């Protein structure tokens, strides 16, 4: 046990949600007769949830500043519809439609940020208004009819990486390359951290623990790579998943390593103290809301690409899935706590629940009930642990976030 | 006069995971007297009172509580209250949007036929308020009362429960001099009504003024108990007992080395944002030299904090006019960020609500006001962050195992050191400290004073706001007094006496003022 702990670089408690995710996956695999851990199911799981996870990235930042955004579903639907209409009726090229859609998202974000930052209207109210305005808006501009999307977009919503190179690898070579890059990157970061902490005379861990960790993660990534890479010919790790991974890396760095990221946590942790430390609280509010709506537009585009048409009810209820992912990921309702990585784990727990219950033939009705109970259990567990005077467990899912 | 014992706590031991908060504590209180409990922060005073009042129920601690001759086993606060033991916490627990009457009878309503009997409640409230010497309408909302008045309402509420043993946790920590004196008088008066008081206090002069006995706690143990004779108390003895060592001088000796005037504020005028037309700073002008420690004395509400916060990037109020010069150059500060960049730092008085993000680690807090200094490219350099915070942890002697620990785990004194480190890292020319030692124990205070002296010796201009006049006299070179938004005087700390300062703080005439230019502020 001691050795496992050292390899993981923290107590097992830090990994509760990751363990829950793995256990859930295995249980569903058994109960569904091996249908859970298959190439096609994993591929569907990723491309079918990527857009919600993109929303959750923005949502965790909004929740960290102590606000909430109820409008993301409507904004995603509205932006997607604007794009589809612009391409169909104005004859714009698809890429211009995408840029226009992102610009619409940014404008909406600026509008909501204005109400929150300048007029101090709580985000709940501001975005409740936005939720109605843009849901109404999408129905209005589409006249309640689905609009076909440009075919080029399909790649963003349901595309796969190209096939190339030799066949003796036995899998999709793009996926293999991704897996190799991921393992190499992880090993590089771990070794660099090890070297630096040795120099700083910080409490250094043993080299074998670091190597053990690299080996463990290597095996895990290798296994996942193998699953994604050995599906039907022509399939691979999905492109929406790749977009998501890139965004996660970017936003992890933004939230953990930039001044803006620090300001988000400062404002959420204690607004007055942040203001007295020179943080421009209004600007932080404004930019966070702006960012959220832009990501909502991106999620809308990805969804439209997947379903090949923009519909008037696209995005209904997405805000709730995104918010649930954030809270299962250990964020605090009062703000100041939550990370992008932990939110992704939270979102994947929801996704695996959805997928697993479906494979078991559980109806949508009971799936909803179970998801609700899981949300309560996860948050209740977190609150219970905080009352015991410990730090938020789930919030520390990965040792990358130092508290 | 020998009073019978009303309360004995024998061998109280209370364990928290990993900590022995109370270790075989013994306490005796005689009926109709006032017992003062003192001790450093973390000595176990509040824990002991929570054991007594049933917040920690019987069974979660070891030892016996004998009250009025019987052993008590309280399950919760309700039980201790019905036995006549009432605790008034440091943070007042009243509901601001409800009236005095509603607050007094909250959870204890007088009910007739299932409905609240408002007339009975109001009549009883009037009677209770009279007993505590408060003449306000019982329908007044709590939020419209001052802190001192709220404290009196709390006592009235305790009286409504037929209190026999009243526990007050640092009752005067938020009160000004007048309200404090008033409260102490009231406590004295309660003795004649056969009400016993236990008062937790840091303020030795108060203990001397009203208590009959003192018990000193240190590290969860009873160190000493002795009676106080006729308003006389040996302060040195209490301090020795509290810190376990003798502090010859509560204020470290310091030879100041004054340079040129490096900070100058002229004709500063600020309007109250909630009360248009009311000026909170009226043509305030003052200056500080390099290496000088300047105190600002004033009663609560005089506008000391407001003045400093408005200077610190207009963080408070509506700026009407006035100029700031740093090192002879006029600067424009329109935001806190620009104030920090131009060498001004302000350490707020309310550490928990304004000074710290309690969710942050020590290392993140240390760099939080000057992230630019640890950027490499556009990213925060985590190595630098660690080095910087480690450096300040060592040089400020912050007691913690690791800078990765949350600031919430630190004691008040250590939190304040982290906050000071945070502002020292911004490398300011001018450091404004608002009540830097509030709620900090004697030992840590001494360290903070030494630090302030060090900062001055580095050639910084240091401004200190404090409500404790001995502290101002002990560590500053010069003191300005403020009354109702006016700077009413300026005095050398060497020549100043508390009485003289107090006169200047309560009198607009400002006849003691040496500096002519302050006169035009009147």
- pLDDT, tens only, A73-125: 999 999 999 999 999 999 999 999 999 999 999 999 999 999 999 999 999 99
Scanning every residue of chain B, which has its alpha carbon at the shortest distance from the alpha carbon of A273? B354
Binding-face residues of A in 196-215 toward B, CB within 8 A: 196, 200, 202-203
- Whether chain A has a CB inside 8 Å of the CB on B379: the answer is yes
Q: Between chains, do B382 and A337 touch, taking CB under 8 Å as contact?
A: no
Domain assignment of residue B31, yes or no: yes
Q: Give the end of a domain, one of A237, A268, A293.
A: A237
**A138 and A267 housed in the same domain:** yes
Chain A (226-255) residues lying within 8 Å, Cβ to Cβ, of chain B: 253
Instruction: Chain A: give the shortest CA distance to residue B242, in Å.
Output: 28
Alpha-carbon dihedral of residues B331, B333, B339, B342, nearest 10 degrees?
A: -20
Q: Domain tally for chain B?
A: 3
Q: Is residue A78 part of a domain?
A: yes
Q: Do A280 and B337 touch (CB under 8 A)?
A: yes
A391 interfaces chain B, CB cutoff of 8 Å: yes
**How many angstroms from the chain centroid is the CA of residue A94?**
25
- Burial (CB < 10 A; 0-12, 13-18, 19+), residue B314, is middle
Distances (CA, A) of B418 to B220, B400, B423: 25, 11, 9
Distance (Å, rounded) from C-alpha B290 to C-alpha B261? 6
Could you say which of B220, B243, B266 is where a domain stops? Answer: B243
| Structure confidence by residue, pLDDT tens digits, B418-445 | 999 999 999 999 999 999 988 777 778 8
Question: What is the nearest CA distance from B373 to chain A, expressed in angstroms?
Answer: 11
B393 and B268: one domain? no
Does the beta-carbon distance from B353 to A262 stay under 8 Å?
no
CB contacts of B364 in chain A (<8 Å) are 262, 265
- Indicate which CATH number applies to the domain containing B448: 3.40.50.300
SS3 A370: helix
Helix (H) or strand (E) holding A220: helix A207-229
Residues A338 and A387 in one domain: yes
The pLDDT > 90 percentage for chain B reads: 34
Angle subtended at Cα B264 by Cα B261 and Cα B265, rounded to the nearest 5 degrees: 165
User: Are A258 and B17 in contact (CB < 8 Å)?
Assistant: no
Assess whether A186 and A327 both reside in one domain. no
- CATH number, domain of A139, equals 1.10.3470
Chain A interface includes B406 (CB < 8 A): yes
HEC-encoded secondary structure of B187-214:
HHHHHHCCCEEEEECCCHHHHHHHCCEE
Last residue of a domain, one of A222, A237, A252: A237
Q: B289 and B216, same structural domain?
A: no
Do B55 and B78 lie in a common domain?
yes
Size of interface A-B (CB pairs under 8 A): 85
From A203, A237, A271, give the residue that closes a domain: A237
Question: Are B339 and A278 a contacting pair at CB < 8 A?
Answer: yes
Task: Identify the domain boundary among B410, B427, B444.
Answer: B427
| Of B203, B220, B243, the domain-final residue | B243
Of the pLDDT bands very low, low, confident and very high (cuts 50, 70, 90), residue A394 is very low
Does A192 lie at the interface with B, CB-CB under 8 angstroms? no
Which token pair is A45? Answer: 């799981």
Q: Which residues of B touch A196 (CB under 8 A)?
A: 383
B114 and B104 assigned to the same domain: yes
Q: Is B15 on the interface with A (CB under 8 A)?
A: no
pLDDT in tens, A231-265: 888 888 999 999 999 999 999 999 999 999 999 99
Answer whether B238's CB lies under 8 Å from B43's CB: no
- Residue A311 pLDDT level (bands cut at 50, 70, 90): very high
Say yes or no: A146 and A255 in one domain.
yes
How close does chain B come to A147, measured CA to CA in Å? 42
Q: Are A316 and A226 in a shared domain?
A: no
Are both B101 and B224 inside the same structural domain?
A: yes
B87 and B209 share one domain: yes
Hey, of A252, A263, A272, A277, which one would you mutate to test binding to chain B, going by the most B CBs within 10 A of its CB?
Answer: A277
Within-domain flag for B53: yes
Question: Into how many domains does chain A fold?
Answer: 2
Assigned domain for A140 exists: yes
In a shared domain, residues B510 and B462: yes
Task: Please name the member of A257, A270, A275 whose beta carbon is closest to the beta carbon of B315.
Answer: A275
B515 touches chain A (CB under 8 A): no
Q: Are the Cβ atoms of B336 and A275 closer than 8 angstroms?
A: yes
Considering only CB atoms, A403 lies closest to which of B313, B337, B361, namely: B361
Residues A188 and A324 placed together within one structural domain of the fold? no
Distances (CA, A) of A52 to A47, A320, A326: 10, 10, 11
- At B332-386, the pLDDT tens digits run 999 999 999 999 999 998 888 888 998 899 999 999 999 999 999 899 998 899 9
User: Which pLDDT tens digit goes with each residue over A153-181?
Assistant: 888 888 888 888 887 888 888 999 999 99
Q: Distance (Å) from the C-alpha of residue B379 to the closest C-alpha of chain A?
A: 5
Same domain, B191 and B282: no
Residue B517 in any domain: the answer is yes
Same domain, B157 and B198: yes
Q: pTM for this one? A: 0.79
pLDDT > 90 fraction of chain A, expressed in percent and rounded: 65
Do A148 and A181 belong together in one domain?
Answer: no
Same domain assignment for residues B101 and B239: yes
The verdict on B355 touching A (C-beta cutoff 8 Å) is yes
pLDDT at A399 over 60: no
Instruction: Determine the residue of chain B that is closest to A267 in CA distance.
Output: B357
85-104 in chain A: CB under 8 A from chain B: none
DSSP secondary structure, A254-271, as one string: HHHHSHHHHHHHHHHH-H
- Residue B315 near chain A (CB below 8 Å): yes
In a domain, A368, yes or no: yes
> Do A16 and A154 lie in a common domain?
yes
Distance from CA of B377 to the nearest CA of A (A): 10
Average pLDDT over residues B50-68: 89
Q: Residue A148: which domain range?
A: 2-159+244-396
Q: Which residues of B468-504 are buried (b: 16+ CB within 10 A; e: fewer)?
A: bbebbbbbbbbbbbbbebbbbbbbebeebeeeebebb
Do A44 and A155 fall within a single domain? Answer: yes
Cβ within 8 Å, pair B346-A276: yes
Among B17, B354, B386, select the one facing A276 at the smallest CB separation.
B354
pLDDT band at residue A30 using 50, 70 and 90 as cut-offs: very high
A window 255-294, beta carbon within 8 A of B? 257-259, 262, 265-266, 269-270, 272-280
Q: Examine the domain organization and report whether A26 and A94 are in the same domain.
A: yes
In contact, A76 and A302? CB cutoff 8 Å = no
Looking at beta carbons, which residues of chain B come within 8 Å of A258? 378-380
Contact between chains at A269 and B357 (C-beta distance less than 8 A): yes
Instruction: Indicate whether B232 pLDDT > 60.
Output: yes
Same domain, A282 and A216: no
In a domain, B350, yes or no: no
Q: Do A292 and A154 belong together in one domain? A: yes
The span from the CA of A138 to the CA of A145, in Å, is 10
According to DSSP, residue B333 is labeled -
- DSSP 8-state class, residue A390: P
If one compares B15 and B139, the residue with the highest pLDDT of the two is: B139
What DSSP letter does each residue of A103-153 carry, written as one string? HHHHHHHHHHHHHHHTT---HHHHHHHHHHHHHHHHHHHHTT--EEPPGGG
Contacts with A, B 208-237, CB within 8 Å: none
For range B174-187, the mean pLDDT: 82
Domain that holds residue B513: 251-343+429-522
- The 10 Å Cβ neighbour count of residue A362 is 15
Nearest chain B alpha carbon to A279 = B337
Using the predicted structure, report yes or no on whether residue B452 has a pLDDT greater than 70. yes
Q: Specify the pLDDT at position B233.
A: 67
B387: contact with A, CB 8 A cutoff:
yes
* Parallel/antiparallel/unpaired status of strands B70-71 and B34-38: unpaired
pLDDT confidence band for B246 (50 / 70 / 90)? low
pLDDT, tens digit, 9 for 90 and up, residues B258-274: 899 999 999 999 988 87
In a domain, B348, yes or no: no
Judge if B171 and B272 occupy the same domain.
Answer: no
Q: Which of A200, A203, A266 sits opposite B357 (nearest CB)?
A: A266
Residues B471 and B387 in one domain: no
Residue A166 lies in a domain: no
Q: Are A85 and A276 in contact (CB under 8 A)?
A: no
Output the average pLDDT for chain B: 85
Residue A14 has pLDDT above 80, yes or no: no
Give me the residues paired with residue B35 across strands. B198, B213
ipTM score: 0.83
Q: Is B53 helix (H, G, I), strand (E, B) or coil?
A: helix
């Amino acid at each position: 046990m001691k050795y496992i702990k050292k390899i993981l670089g923290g107590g097992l408690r830090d990994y509760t949600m990751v363990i829950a995710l793995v256990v859930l996956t295995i249980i569903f695999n058994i109960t569904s007769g091996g249908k859970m851990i298959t190439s096609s199911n994993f591929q569907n799981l990723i491309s079918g949830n990527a857009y919600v996870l993109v929303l959750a990235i923005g949502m965790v930042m909004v929740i960290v500043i102590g606000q909430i955004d109820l409008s993301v579903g409507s904004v995603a639907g509205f932006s997607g519809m604007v794009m589809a209409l612009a391409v169909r009726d104005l004859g714009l090229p698809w890429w211009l439609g995408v840029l226009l859609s992102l610009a619409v998202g940014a404008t909406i974000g600026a509008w909501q940020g204005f109400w929150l930052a300048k007029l101090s209207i709580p985000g709940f109210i501001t975005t409740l208004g936005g939720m109605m305005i843009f849901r109404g808006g999408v129905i209005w501009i589409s006249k309640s009819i689905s609009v076909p999307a440009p075919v080029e977009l399909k790649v963003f919503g349901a595309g796969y990486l190209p096939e190339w190179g030799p066949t003796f690898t036995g899998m999709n070579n793009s996926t293999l390359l991704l897996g190799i890059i991921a393992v190499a990157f992880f090993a590089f970061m771990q070794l660099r951290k090890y070297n630096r902490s040795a120099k700083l005379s910080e409490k250094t861990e043993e080299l074998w623990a670091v190597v053990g960790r690299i080996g463990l993660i290597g095996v895990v990534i290798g296994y996942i790579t193998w699953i994604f890479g050995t599906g039907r010919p022509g399939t691979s790790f999905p492109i929406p998943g790749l977009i998501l991974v890139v965004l996660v890396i970017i936003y992890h760095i933004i939230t953990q390593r930039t001044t803006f990221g620090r300001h988000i946590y400062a404002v959420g942790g204690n607004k007055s103290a942040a203001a007295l430390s020179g943080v421009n609280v209004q600007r932080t509010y404004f930019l966070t809301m702006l960012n959220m709506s832009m990501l909502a537009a991106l999620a809308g585009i990805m969804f439209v690409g997947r379903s090949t048409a923009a519909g008037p009810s696209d995005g209904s209820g997405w805000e709730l899935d995104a918010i649930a992912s954030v809270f299962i990921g250990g964020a605090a309702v009062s703000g100041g706590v939550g990370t992008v990585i932990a939110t992704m784990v939270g979102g994947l727990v929801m996704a695996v629940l959805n997928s697993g219950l479906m494979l078991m033939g559980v109806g949508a009705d009971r799936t909803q009930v179970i998801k609700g109970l899981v949300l309560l259990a996860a948050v209740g567990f977190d609150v219970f642990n905080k009352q015991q005077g410990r730090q938020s467990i789930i919030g520390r899912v990965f040792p990358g976030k130092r508290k | 006069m020998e009073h019978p014992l009303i309360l004995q706590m024998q061998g109280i031991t209370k364990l928290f995971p990993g900590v022995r908060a109370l270790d075989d504590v013994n306490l005796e209180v005689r009926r109709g007297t006032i017992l003062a409990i003192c001790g450093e922060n973390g000595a176990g005073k509040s824990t002991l009172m929570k054991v007594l009042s049933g917040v920690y129920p019987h069974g979660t601690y070891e030892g016996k509580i004998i009250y009025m001759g019987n052993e008590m086993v309280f399950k919760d606060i309700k039980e201790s209250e019905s036995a006549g033991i009432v605790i008034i916490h440091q943070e007042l627990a009243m509901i601001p949007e409800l009236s005095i009457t509603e607050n007094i009878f909250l959870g204890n309503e007088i009910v007739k036929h299932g409905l609240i009997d408002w007339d009975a409640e109001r009549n009883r409230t009037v009677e209770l308020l009279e007993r505590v010497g408060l003449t306000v309408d019982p329908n007044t909302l709590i939020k419209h009362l001052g802190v001192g008045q709220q404290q009196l309402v709390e006592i009235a509420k305790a009286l409504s429960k037929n209190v026999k043993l009243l526990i007050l946790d640092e009752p005067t920590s938020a009160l000004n001099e007048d309200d404090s004196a008033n409260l102490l008088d009231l406590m004295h008066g309660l003795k004649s009504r056969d009400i016993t008081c236990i008062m937790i206090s840091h303020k030795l002069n108060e203990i001397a003024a009203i208590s009959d006995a003192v018990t000193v706690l240190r590290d969860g143990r009873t160190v000493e108990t002795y009676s106080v004779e006729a308003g006389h108390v040996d302060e040195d003895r209490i301090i020795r007992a509290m810190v376990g060592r003798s502090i010859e001088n509560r204020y470290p000796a310091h030879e100041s080395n004054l340079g040129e005037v490096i900070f100058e504020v002229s004709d500063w005028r600020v309007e109250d944002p909630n009360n248009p037309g009311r000026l909170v700073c009226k043509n305030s002008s003052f200056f500080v030299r390099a290496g000088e420690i300047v105190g600002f004395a004033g009663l609560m509400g005089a506008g000391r904090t407001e003045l400093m916060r408005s200077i610190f990037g207009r963080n408070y109020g509506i700026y009407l006019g006035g100029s700031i010069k740093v090192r002879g150059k006029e600067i424009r500060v329109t935001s806190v960020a620009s104030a920090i960049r131009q060498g001004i730092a302000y350490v707020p008085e309310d550490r928990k609500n304004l000074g710290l993000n309690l969710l942050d680690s020590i290392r993140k807090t240390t760099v939080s006001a000057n992230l630019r200094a640890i950027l490499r490219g556009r990213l925060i350099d985590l190595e630098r962050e660690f080095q910087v915070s480690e450096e300040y942890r060592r040089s400020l002697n912050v007691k913690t195992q690791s800078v990765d620990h949350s600031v919430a785990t630190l004691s008040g004194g250590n939190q304040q050191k982290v906050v000071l480190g945070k502002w020292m890292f911004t490398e300011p020319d001018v450091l404004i400290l608002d009540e830097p030692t509030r709620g900090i124990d004697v030992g840590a205070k001494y360290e903070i004073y030494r630090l302030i002296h060090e900062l001055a010796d580095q050639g910084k201009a240091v401004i200190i706001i404090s409500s404790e006049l001995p502290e101002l006299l002990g560590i500053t070179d010069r003191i300005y007094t403020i009354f109702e938004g006016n700077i009413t005087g300026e005095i050398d700390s060497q020549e100043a006496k508390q009485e003289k300062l107090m006169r200047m703080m309560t009198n607009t005439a400002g006849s003691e003022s040496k500096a002519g230019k302050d006169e035009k502020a009147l």
